């Protein structure tokens, strides 16, 4: 499925998409895509309207680095993990993020980023004011963001058995690798 300036998929708000990391509720996101470098933030999957209903956001930043951010809207702070190196563009790639659901001021330590089934170098950006994500009213959006200054995803997403997937648990490194090994043959990667 090709994405560009006006393509995205919207879901309705439901408790399935919200996680309470003050009680250890983690989550994982896995997406197979062929991104196009465009120098702006490109949303993969988010539950964040970028105004008042901010929970979490998985995206490629304007420096072409993978990033997962978590918001505590009561404290109005974000914690996130940012990849150390830029992505390679122009090929099918598995992008994944897992979160242990650790909550608290060092919550970003519980995030792991993956490219093609391998955990990648990244840095945690924590904030001691962060307590937990809140269950807010934004619905999930794939490939874009409501009301935000983050641009849409540009490129292609694989769908069907290749994802994208949102899982209400922290997947293990072995599970991320297994997804990579199963799907890459379908996509000729």
Domain residue spans of the chain: 2-187
Q: Select from 2.40.50.320, 3.40.50.10380, 2.60.120.200, 4.10.520.10 the CATH code of 2-187.
A: 2.60.120.200
CA dihedral 187, 121, 165, 137 (to 10 degrees): -140
Model pLDDT, residue 6: 46
Least confident of 6-20, 40-54, 58-72, 107-121: 6-20
Residue 103 has pLDDT above 90, yes or no: yes
107 touches 81 (CB < 8 A): no
Tens of pLDDT, residue by residue over 127-145, are: 999 998 886 667 667 665 5
138 touches 55 (CB < 8 A): yes
- Closest to 133 measured CA to CA, from 98, 108, 152: 108
Model pLDDT, residue 114: 98
154 touches 22 (CB < 8 A): no
Residue 10 has pLDDT above 60, yes or no: no
């Amino acid at each position: 499925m090709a994405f560009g300036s006006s393509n995205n998929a919207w879901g309705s708000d439901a408790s399935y998409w919200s996680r309470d990391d003050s009680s250890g509720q983690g989550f994982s996101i896995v997406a197979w895509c062929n991104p196009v470098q465009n120098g702006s933030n490109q949303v993969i999957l988010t539950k964040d309207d970028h105004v008042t209903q901010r929970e979490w956001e998985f995206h490629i930043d304007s420096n072409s680095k993978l990033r997962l951010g978590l918001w505590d809207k009561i404290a109005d702070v974000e914690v996130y993990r940012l990849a150390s190196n830029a992505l390679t563009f122009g090929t099918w790639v598995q992008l994944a993020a897992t979160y242990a659901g650790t909550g608290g001021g060092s919550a970003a330590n519980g995030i792991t980023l993956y490219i093609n089934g391998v955990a990648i170098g990244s840095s945690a950006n924590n904030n001691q004011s962060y307590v937990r994500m809140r269950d807010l009213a934004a619905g999930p959006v794939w490939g874009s963001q409501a009301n935000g200054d983050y641009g849409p995803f540009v490129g292609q997403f694989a769908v069907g058995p290749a994802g994208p997937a949102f899982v209400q648990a922290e997947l293990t490194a072995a599970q991320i690798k297994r997804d990579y090994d199963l799907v890459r043959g379908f996509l000729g990667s």
